[in-house]
Amino acid sequence: MDLFLKISFWMALILISYAYCFYPVLLWLLDRFFKVRKFLSNEDCPPVSLIVAAYNEEKVIESRIRNCLALDYPKDKLEIIIASDGSSDGTTDIVRRYAPEGVVLHAYAERRGKVNVLNETVPKAKYSIVLFSDANTAFTRQAVKKLVRYFADPNVGCVCGGLQFVNAEGSNTGELEGIYWRYETFLKKIEGRRGALLGANGAIFAIRKGLYQSLESDTIIEDFVLPMRILQKGFACLYASEASAIEEAAHKIVHERQRRVRIGAGDFQSLFRLLPMLNPFRGFPALAFFSHKVLRWLAPFFLAVAFAANIFLLTSGRPYIFIFILQCAFYSAALAGRGMVRRKKQFKLLSLAYYFASMNLALFLGFLKFLQGTQSVKWNRTER
């Protein structure tokens, strides 16, 4: 029993450390010492259909449309589509006012969730490149140009842009989200340079329309599954950080956690639907998927095993006592950080500890929702 506890304890610690610390170092070494694939790009402006799925977005939809109309892109090559998922507020009325400027409205009477809206809307798009975005996002003026230039390479199937978070008035999550996002961006850049970006962010990513695969109607995180299916077909998925989208951070971490619980449920759903991507013969994409995603999704269980096993191993020597003290200090810091964030104060190390613990708790709650099958594909706006 003692041997089993020790193996479980050290394996849990090693896998957590590898996922969050050693894998980024491995990526850096690969990027430094091994050649990356070269992908073609040009400054041509291919025709693009921009699809924004919206549900009850009357507060932001007009500014989103104006942002799209102001893009530095040929007007005759940009189709702007707003797909309303059964909105019950003034969203569709606002969109209709922009019909004279070429904005296309697809208003679906029944609310069915974003994935089903996209399944029905993408085939209606006019152009061979489809760009997806959200209603609460704003593009920089040249974002579309910088994103779609990589489709000059026929091997490229998906390109994801960079997302910048800004603090909303009263927000206490923007700085934390920004720190985490910078860490994620480092990984995305290196994986993207190798044509193996894992998923996309729904704020700004584009695909070849011919590669769109109608997703299962219960798909929770379509912006992850869709690019992964394209990667699975052998096409490259790139990261174009210079193609920027801007989004406000959630006002409160509790709102961000609700979003992450939903994403967590989708993560575990995706894992079982994308198991072929773990085939080691796929090379780097398989390594990246296992290291960057799968181990992260399993981190809440590794953390629980490490803490529980540590309790039973306290009599096994000083190293176990020392590590247990470190674990207790970390979770105490997370609790302290929780209190500071709620009081709208910041002490970076404490807040980061809370953010990390909160993310993993959300993943675990998402796992429970996945097991229960209670996570709906219908999404609600995060207050921003």
- In whole angstroms, what is the distance from residue 157 CA to residue 112 CA? 27
Query: 197: closest CA among 208, 212, 186?
Result: 186
**Residue 252 confidence (pLDDT):** 56
**More confident site: 383 or 53:** 53
What pTM, to 2 d.p., does this model score? 0.90
Given a cut of 50, is residue 384 above it in pLDDT? no
Say which range, 149-153, 238-242, 351-355, has the weakest mean pLDDT: 351-355
Average pLDDT over residues 196-213: 95
**Residue 218 confidence (pLDDT):** 92
Query: Are the CB atoms for 31 and 190 separated by under 8 Å?
Result: yes
Domains assigned to the chain: 48-252 (3.90.550.10)
Specify the pairing of strand 156-166 against strand 104-108.
unpaired
* % of the chain residues with pLDDT over 90: 74
Query: 253: closest CA among 340, 185, 183, 332?
Result: 340
- In whole angstroms, what is the distance from residue 103 CA to residue 101 CA? 6
- Enumerate the H helices of the chain as residue ranges: 2-17, 23-33, 61-69, 91-96, 114-121, 143-148, 174-193, 222-232, 253-273, 284-288, 295-312, 318-342, 348-372
Cα dihedral 298, 300, 304, 305, rounded to 10, equals 10
Burial class (CB in 10 A: 0-12, 13-18, 19+), 6: middle
Q: What DSSP string runs through 274-310?
A: SGGGG-GGG-HHHHHIIIIIIHHHHHHHHHHHHHHHH
Question: Which run of H or E residues covers position 46?
Answer: none
